[in-house]
Chain A
Amino acid sequence: MTSALTQAVARLLLLPTLVAAVAIFVKGYAQPGDGFSAGIVASLGILLQYIAFGREKVERLMPVRGMEAAGIGGLLLALTIAIFPLFLGEPLLTHFPPPGSKVIYLGTLELITAVAFDAGIFLLVVGFAVGSMRLVARTGMNEVGGSGLPEESEEVS
């Protein structure tokens, strides 16, 4: 379906894209970029594989089936971060450590709860982008005379 060149380029680009996504995320607090952008970059890297190799092959080789669940997990993570200050008597979405106190750095990554919140956003974005495109791709295969798999045929309900 796609040429060998596309496939080669897609394969070459996957790792750098993911690394770039992580970099955007990690540097988010110092430079432009945040969980949202990082999530979209990572998703684009994965979606490029879909374009180059087709849905079946990608889903056989990469752990993309659980992406929707990862998205919901991201939302839950963000909600947890948002709610837990309530248990400590602080307003919703208070981040720790509080302003002015010391923060542990790992390179440019800061260990603060705002970063965990951002990680939740990252997961949700990846889950949404990959999950929705995956669903669109699967449905497209089935309904437009594509090579739909037999077990995915229409259910009569």
Chain B
Amino acid sequence: MEYFLTAWVVLVPLILALVAAPAAALAGTFRPSLSAPVGAVLAALAAGATLYVWLSGGGEVNFAWAPTLDLRFAVKMDGLAALYSLLATGVGFAVLVYSRRYLPLHLEHEGRPETAAPRFYFFMLLFMGSMVGLAMSQDLILLFVFWDLTAIASYYLIGYDEHKEESRYSALMALLITGITAVLLLIGALMFYAAYGTFSIPRLADLTETGPLLTTAGAFIAVAGLAKSAQVPLHFWLPRAMAAPTPVSAYLHSAAMVAAGVLLIGRVYPLLQKSDALLTGFLVVGTASIAVGGILALTRDVLKQLLAYSTISQYGYVVFMFGLGGKYGAAGASLYVIAHALLKSALFLTAGAVTEATGEDKLSRLGGLARQMPVLAVSGGVAAAGLAAFPLTIGFFKDELLFAAALERGPIFVGISLFAAVLTLAYTWRFWGGIFLGETVTEARKLPVALVAPVAGLGLFVLAGGVFIDPFAELARAAGAVSYAASVESVEPAYHLDARPENLLALATFGLGVLLIISRQVWTGAAGLFAKAGQKLGPERIYAVSLEGLNKLSDRAHTAEVRDLRGRIIAILIPAGILVGLGVVVTPIGGVYKVGEITVRDLPLLLALLSAAIAALATCLTVKHVTLALVISSAGFSIAGAFAFFGAPDVALVAVLIETFLTLLIFGTMRLIPAETLRAGSDGPKVGAWRKAAVATVAAAFVMAVVWGTLSQPFPEKGVVSRLIKLTPEAHAKDVVTVILADFRGLDTLGEITVVALILLAVATLLGRGRP
């Protein structure tokens, strides 16, 4: 019993995190302002529970939720899970506290009602919950489910300002890029399953062997992770996503969405690190992202854009470290993610506070704010110092481990690392110095404490990490051990007051960084040109062009189908008719067409068939649309009568009902056609009436030949039918037709009703333009 309890405690953080979103939404229906506190409390509780479960040794829950499909609900609170869960819930808590003050201001600014707030918190917390689930998943399919949940939440968060076209465009872009690549994750998972028969990541780590399968499937999964982490060339959605309100940017781009990508890579890293090709791929992508992100960050004027490109560059570091591999790579990547989440969320919140105070979001319109907002300047300064890897901040250690990992591999990698660190220093200086130093450009209003306090709190963490690195390093080592699939205990970030290579590299970084800042005039033009070239020829352009092309293709297909309906139908019917006709002609006649016995009892049936035939013939002679509709439906009713006399009451009932409904629908639809068009149609010249009748007669003759021939043969499915009838009482029924529909062939029915529902949606969209 006790074992049972301890095992299930693992689920507490996940449940708390997942419950937060509906709870906040529910609280919001009572009073919109209640959403944030409820969500923040649950986030804090989830963070506490995560810490508790991890410190008390973690644990694992694993049961099959869909045994027939071999899907398991396997979650575990290991180091990696603890790290990302703590980030998601901890930073989530800070961001929620900040949003409580920020969001009302934002809504007021956008002219939206207060009631829009709960939706914001719902998706924010949904993201948090899915992120905890993602972090704890040990099963590729479960992981995929949470992965897609984060994509959905991010779509609504980025597009939160739904009245702005830019927001909608950005949200769609983020969804498409991360959603399409998510399919690659699924494909990779299925490839592994096909080869090894399990979705469990730890078991796959044991089973997989180096080879083309591992490289291909691993590459698919890695691409999903890289796209989510906004790595080159799929990085362009991230700067766009800055259209979201600042708390969303702070959260998604520090602790949540972008982190999810490297979380995935860290989770499947035991598999990926077996393939040298994949590690090389990480090195290339990481380096490209560091360079592109860093250079563009030096050219941006809008604060959040600068930070967005810096995020691309910083996650480039992480991917680069995964590419370097080894224990320093795995543990360093984890420590880097912790440090970056703290630093970057603090910087984003600083940017948001500055914009809120001054109304400006461009570096060129800001400056000298240090005198007016000293607390924010210092807190933001600490975060910036951390990003630039100054000693006494947690950031120092992230670079120390980067250099250590690079030194293990060779001089080229050391060069790239140094280049990355110098770029970081330069754009961080540009950000902080641009806002807080120099001449005052725009006056600032006084800010509420709740907008500054979270920045200060995160800043304290940054400093604390700079002095007491051990708890952070412990977490990073635990996470690194999961990724590396071996102990990384010997990785100990610390200050060493000697001339070891890491320290020399750090000194070189500061020297070169200062040089880069001073030589600004020299490279500004070149960086600007690089940015322009990227806009003209970069992957974002390819995205825009292909999306446009897809829209055009869709339009063309739609026009072709709608404009020339008759042509489309002819294109299907004529070849089909010719094939059937050929079949009839080449079949030998002897014994194929039998005429059974006709008795007096068959008279009503014959009468019904005769009336159907007369009605069918009459369609050739009518011209008025209303008459035509009536004639067609009377043919249908006659056939329903035939079924009734044939001993198929179920079919007859359905036929009568359907015929009635269709007649109504035809009349209703006729109302939609302008009266002149209808009149023109029926008054038109009667050319071709005889030709149509002739075509109809020939077609009918062929159909009759086919039906007659078919009915003359004994039913091959007779066995199936009698078996179904025999099974009917077993299924607690007396009526075979019903039980076939609901039970024996239930899957067909399910498919059919889904089609019906889709048609209803299509009708509603076309006629109601989506309105109810």
A29–B753 Cα gap in the complex (Å)? 19
Task: Please determine whether A90 and B738 come into contact, CB atoms closer than 8 angstroms.
Answer: no
The reply on A91 being an interface residue by CB < 8 A is yes
Name the CB-closest residue of A to B651: A32
16 A-B pairs, CB-CB below 8 angstroms? A29-B734, A30-B733, A35-B742, A72-B760, A97-B732, A99-B732, A110-B732, A114-B732, A118-B741, A121-B742, A124-B753, A124-B757, A125-B756, A128-B756, A132-B760, A132-B764
Task: Please determine whether A131 and B764 come into contact, CB atoms closer than 8 angstroms.
Answer: yes
Which one, B661, B730, B732, B756, contacts A44 given CB within 8 A? B661
Minimum Cβ distance to chain A for residue B337 (Å): 35
Task: Please determine whether A112 and B732 come into contact, CB atoms closer than 8 angstroms.
Answer: yes
Minimum Cβ distance to chain A for residue B672 (Å): 5
The reply on A149 being an interface residue by CB < 8 A is no
Task: Please determine whether B742 and A118 come into contact, CB atoms closer than 8 angstroms.
Answer: yes
Give me the interface of A with B, judged by CB distance under 8 Å: 28-37, 40-41, 43-44, 47, 65, 68-69, 71-72, 74-75, 78-79, 82, 86-87, 89-93, 95, 97, 99-100, 103, 110, 112, 114-115, 117-118, 120-121, 124-125, 127-129, 131-133, 135-140, 143-144, 155
Minimum Cβ distance to chain A for residue B242 (Å): 27
Known: A65-B772, A89-B67, A93-B747. A34 touches B757 (CB 8 A): no
The reply on B749 being an interface residue by CB < 8 A is yes
Which chain B residues lie closer than 8 Å to A40 at the CB level? 654, 657-658, 660-661
Which chain B residues lie closer than 8 Å to A41 at the CB level? 657
Which chain A residues lie closer than 8 Å to B767 at the CB level? 135-136, 138-139
Interface-facing stretch out of B380-388, B446-454, B662-670: B662-670
The reply on B111 being an interface residue by CB < 8 A is no
Which one, B66, B665, B733, B738, contacts A132 given CB within 8 A? B665
Interface size for chain B: under 10, 10 to 19, 20 to 34, or 35 or more residues? 35 or more
Which chain B residues lie closer than 8 Å to A90 at the CB level? 68
Minimum Cβ distance to chain A for residue B744 (Å): 10
A137–B759 Cα gap in the complex (Å)? 17
A-B CB proximity, top 5 nearest: A140-B671, A40-B657, A89-B67, A99-B730, A136-B668
Minimum Cβ distance to chain B for residue A118 (Å): 5
Task: Please determine whether A32 and B764 come into contact, CB atoms closer than 8 angstroms.
Answer: no
Which chain A residues lie closer than 8 Å to B658 at the CB level? 40
Give me the interface of B with A, judged by CB distance under 8 Å: 64-69, 649-650, 653-654, 657-658, 660-661, 664-665, 668-669, 671-672, 674-675, 727, 730-735, 737-739, 741-743, 746-747, 749-750, 753-754, 756-757, 759-761, 763-764, 767-769, 772
Known: A37-B654, A82-B746, A118-B738. A44 touches B660 (CB 8 A): yes
Task: Please determine whether B753 and A68 come into contact, CB atoms closer than 8 angstroms.
Answer: no
Which one, B66, B654, B764, contacts A68 given CB within 8 A? B764
A12–B757 Cα gap in the complex (Å)? 31
Task: Please determine whether B664 and A36 come into contact, CB atoms closer than 8 angstroms.
Answer: no
A4–B66 Cα gap in the complex (Å)? 59
Which one, B664, B735, B760, contacts A128 given CB within 8 A? B760
A138–B664 Cα gap in the complex (Å)? 14
Which chain B residues lie closer than 8 Å to A29 at the CB level? 732-735, 738-739
Which chain B residues lie closer than 8 Å to A28 at the CB level? 735, 738
Name the CB-closest residue of A to B730: A99
Which chain A residues lie closer than 8 Å to B733 at the CB level? 29-30, 110, 114
Task: Please determine whether A36 and B671 come into contact, CB atoms closer than 8 angstroms.
Answer: no
Name the CB-closest residue of A to B763: A132
Task: Please determine whether B671 and A32 come into contact, CB atoms closer than 8 angstroms.
Answer: no
Minimum Cβ distance to chain B for residue A82 (Å): 5
Name the CB-closest residue of B to A125: B756
Known: A37-B654, A44-B657, A140-B668. A114 touches B743 (CB 8 A): yes
Task: Please determine whether B763 and A135 come into contact, CB atoms closer than 8 angstroms.
Answer: yes
Q: Name 8 extra pairs, CB < 8 A, besides A32-B649, A93-B746.
A: A44-B661, A72-B760, A78-B753, A79-B754, A89-B68, A92-B68, A114-B743, A118-B738
Name the CB-closest residue of B to A39: B657
Which chain A residues lie closer than 8 Å to B664 at the CB level? 44, 47, 133
Task: Please determine whether B754 and A75 come into contact, CB atoms closer than 8 angstroms.
Answer: yes
Task: Please determine whether A143 and B672 come into contact, CB atoms closer than 8 angstroms.
Answer: yes
Task: Please determine whether B753 and A75 come into contact, CB atoms closer than 8 angstroms.
Answer: yes
A37–B656 Cα gap in the complex (Å)? 10
A20–B213 Cα gap in the complex (Å)? 61
Known: A29-B733, A32-B737, A110-B732. A121 touches B753 (CB 8 A): yes
